[in-house]
Amino acid sequence: MTGDGITQHGGMDWWQSDEGIWYYRPVDGSADWVIDESGLGPSGISKAVVVTDIDSGQESTITFSNPGERYRVIDSVTAPDGTVVEILEYKELLGSSDVRTAEMLYFTKRSGAKLKMVRIRLSGSKVRVEPGALYFMKGQLEMKSSTGGGMLKGMKRKLLSGESFFVNEIYGVGEIYLEPTFGHFFLHELGQSEPGVICDKGMFYAGAGSLDVSAKMQGKLTAGLFGGEGWFQTHITGNGVAVLYVPVPKEEVMMYTLADEKLSVDGNFALMRHDTVDFKVEKSSKGIMSTLVSGEGLLQTFQGSGKVWIAPIQGVYEKLTSVKGLSNLANNPASMGTNVKLGKKKR
């Protein structure tokens, strides 16, 4: 994704207006913007790749995304190895013959919830996906399963960070679709010269490029005991693109860039941070009496230089799932500690 919301795909610049209308032009800007009459945007572009079998020398053609699909690309990132990772959003679900399902679809549409899916395009590269995430794939592709670095590393990743014991990697040329969900995804780019990220358990969904996913122990005793994140979190390093499942829309994720500064959070709704940022739990005030009367108690603190991503609206959505929570939102907003659910997120 380039600046000003412009996506480059199929040799063209693509831009979508607030009304949902797609426009395109050559990437060199040599012509004016033209309305995409198909209404499909970059997802409607058909691309073909000719693949030659090494053993037989036989050539075959693999096509990507034929026109007529009812979704749009809402985010797209290209990994250093050429793998294209996209978040697709269905414009609407057309309905079902079952009346009860049609009723649920009606309220889903009125609420603005959109079905989403991750699409990954490989051109002789590889991608790592969590077990159970694959929906379907097309092309000359091969899946291999391993422990991702040995039995010990697999057990450490499973028991400590909540990620899967086995690692599924798909190689070849083609396109891969992951399981659809009404949830939300966040594409994060990592580089060799950039710091890795430490995120909540269960957020990692897939990864393109050369990524290493491991368990990271909290550096401070208080962080493990009182931080609300557990003793271990997921640590992602390397060079590529990580697909993360997040509890709120990407637009509601707030990112802070710290320059030898401190960010204090009253709750555990911080999603991830650069591994250059120190995480610990501190009293809201230096004195014990001041902490007791302040109404804030213990705070999650992030200090150093790097980026921190938080989801302040996550607790609001969780309260809306119950009558009691909805009632609490109508009361005085003063509270102590906005704690949210952790662990494997439902997709």
Picking from 252, 244, 251, 83, the residue whose alpha carbon sits closest to that of residue 170 is: 83
Give yes or no for a contact between 309 and 198, defined as CB atoms under 8 angstroms apart. no
Identify whether the C-beta of residue 239 lies closer than 8 Å to the C-beta of residue 80.
yes
In terms of Cα–Cα distance, which of 153, 158, 152 is closest to 131?
158
pTM: 0.73
User: SS3 for the chain, per residue?
Assistant: CCHHHCEEECCEEEEECCCCCEEEEECCCCCCCEECCCCCHHHHCCEEEEEECCCCCCEEEEEECCCCCCEEEEEEEECCCCCEEEEEEECCCCCCCCHHHHHHHHHHHHHCCCCEEEEEEEEEEEEEECCCCEEEEEEEEEEEEECCCCHHHHHHHHHHHCCCCCEEEEEEEEEEEECCECCEEEEEEECCCCCCEEECCCCEEEEEEEEEEEEEECCCHHHHHHCCCCCEEEEEEEEEEEEEEECCCHHHCEEEEEEEEEEEECECCEEEEECCEEEEEEECCCCHHHHHHHCCCEEEEEEEEEEEEECCCHHHHHHCCCHHHHHHHCCCCCCCCECCCCCCCCC
pLDDT average, residue stretch 184-200: 92
User: pLDDT by residue (tens digit) across 288-301?
Assistant: 544 444 445 678 89
Amino acid found at 161 = S
Q: How far is CA 21 from CA 14, 39, 42, 174, 250, in A?
A: 10, 7, 12, 28, 21
CB 28 within 8 A of CB 11: no
Q: Over the stretch 32-70, which tens digit does the pLDDT of each residue have?
A: 999 988 776 765 555 555 666 656 666 666 666 544 456
How many degrees, rounded to 5, is the angle at CA 27 between CA 76 and CA 123?
45
Least confident range from 35-44, 66-75, 224-233, 246-255: namely 224-233
Least confident stretch, 135-139, 171-175, 228-232, 284-288: 284-288
User: 97 vs 151, which has greater pLDDT?
Assistant: 97
Domains in the chain: ranges and CATH: 70-329 (3.60.160.10)
Q: What is the mean pLDDT of residues 314-326?
A: 83
Q: CA Rg, the chain, in Å?
A: 22
**Could you tell me how many residues make up the chain?**
347
Q: Are 209 and 239 in contact (CB under 8 A)?
A: yes
Greater confidence (200 vs 337) lies with: 200
Confidence of residue 171 (pLDDT cuts 50, 70, 90): very high
